Structure 1
């Protein structure tokens, strides 16, 4: 079995060794031993790190990813969690599209000051309300 030490793994993945140690602490990856003071991993660590990267790009937290990775592989994937995340991504897309449209409007707005633009003022009110709701949660 081919092993790779943490320095090599860091170099090949671009992840700092501190991140790899943190992932190990969170049970996302696991060392199979040590060579001196360096942790050793088997080649399957690349697949696990790719799964972590995929999960992060989909917006899952490390604890959610850990739960997926710790499953016994006999249990079905939590498809409800995947659907809920897809719904969340759809909401984020919708919000970002609105922000984009607003930014483009303000960039082209004929008002001499953005603060005098009615649409920009409405955007600021909406942003302030969202921030207040987030703080009160």
Structure 2
């Protein structure tokens, strides 16, 4: 693959173009989300196409996705060539499924909260939001939510 000088960015140029700190770019590289080329003196150089990868990472994180979610999505991208629009559409479709599941979970929580506010039951035996079916009572007496990760 023959690269032109204009196809290559320094880590500082990539940071400036994407609004991501240099330290974050190093972290992304460490996690395998971007890959640098090494110039003389081991200076990192990135392909211009990495602007899209880093931008996608920022967008995904703003949507609540984790670095692990992004890494899984990027595993579908081709090695050795710039991802095409079709490659990005396929990844977006996968991410859409993740977002749809998160939306469904949030709507379910919202609906339970709507039923809970103003109920006044103060009963962990009846509470559908924090203790549906008195699950906490099955694990023992006392402040069960303190003894584990929470409700």
TM-score (norm 2): 0.56
Of 63-72 and 86-95, the range deviating more from structure 2: 86-95
Question: Any conservation in 1 of the 2:73–2:94 contact (CA below 8 Å)?
Answer: no
Report the equivalent of 2:22: 17
Corresponding residue pairs, total: 119
Higher relative contact order (CA 8 A, sep 6+): 1
Which protein is richer in helix relative to its size?
1
Separation in structure 2 between the aligned mates of residue 67 and residue 86 of structure 1, nearest angstrom: 17
Deviation at 1:77, TM superposition (A): 4.5
Q: How does 1:43-122 map to 2 (within 5 A)?
A: 43-73=48-78, 77=90, 82-92=96-106, 95=109, 119=118
TM-score (norm 1): 0.60
Structure 2 gap segments, 5+ residues each: 79-85, 132-144
Deviation at 1:63, TM superposition (A): 1.3
Q: Does the residue aligned with 1:28 lie in a helix, a strand or coil?
A: coil
The RMSD of aligned alpha carbons is 4.1
Q: What are the Cα deviations for residues 10-57 of structure 1, in whole angstroms up to 9, with x where unaligned? A: 222221111000000111111022353531001001011122122222
Structure 1 gap segments, 5+ residues each: 102-117
**Runs of 4+ displaced beyond 6 Å:** 96-99, 125-129
Separation in structure 1 between the aligned mates of residue 17 and residue 77 of structure 2, nearest angstrom: 28
